[in-house]
Chain A
Amino acid sequence: AQSVTQLDSHVSVSEGTPVLLRCNYSSSYSPSLFWYVQHPNKGLQLLLKYTSAATLVKGINGFEAEFKKSETSFHLTKPSAHMSDAAEYFCVVSEYGRGSTLGRLYFGRGTQLTVWP
Chain B
Amino acid sequence: GAVVSQHPSWVICKSGTSVKIECRSLDFQATTMFWYRQFPKQSLMLMATSNEGSKATYEQGVEKDKFLINHASLTLSTLTVTSAHPEDSSFYICSARGRRELSYEQYFGPGTRLTVT
A107 and B106 in contact, given A42-B111, A43-B111 (Cβ under 8 angstroms)? no
The interface size bin for chain A is 20 to 34
A102 CB to nearest B CB, Å: 5
The interface size bin for chain B is 20 to 34
> Which of chain A's residues have a CB closer than 8 A to the CB of B105?
46, 101
B13 at interface, CB cutoff 8 A: no
B98: nearest residue on chain A (CB-CB)?
A101
> Which of chain A's residues have a CB closer than 8 A to the CB of B4?
43
Which of A44, A45, A100, A108 is within 8 Å of B93, CB to CB? A44
A105 and B43 in contact, given A43-B4, A43-B93 (Cβ under 8 angstroms)? no
A106 CB to nearest B CB, Å: 8
A109 and B111 in contact, given A44-B93, A100-B104 (Cβ under 8 angstroms)? no
B residues 29-65 near A (Cβ < 8 Å) are 34, 41-46, 49
B97 at interface, CB cutoff 8 A: yes
> Which of chain B's residues have a CB closer than 8 A to the CB of A45?
108
Decide if B106 touches A101 in the complex (CB within 8 Å).
yes
Q: Roughly how many angstroms separate A42 CA and B104 CA in the complex, as a whole number?
A: 22
Decide if A90 touches B104 in the complex (CB within 8 Å).
no
B49 CB to nearest A CB, Å: 8
A101 and B97 in contact, given A41-B113, A43-B108, A43-B109 (Cβ under 8 angstroms)? yes
Q: Roughly how many angstroms separate A42 CA and B111 CA in the complex, as a whole number?
A: 6
Decide if A90 touches B108 in the complex (CB within 8 Å).
no
Q: Which residues of A contact B (CB under 8 A)?
A: 9, 36, 41-46, 90, 99-102, 104-105, 107-110, 112
The 7 closest A-B pairs by CB, nearest first: A44-B108, A43-B108, A43-B110, A101-B106, A107-B43, A109-B43, A107-B44
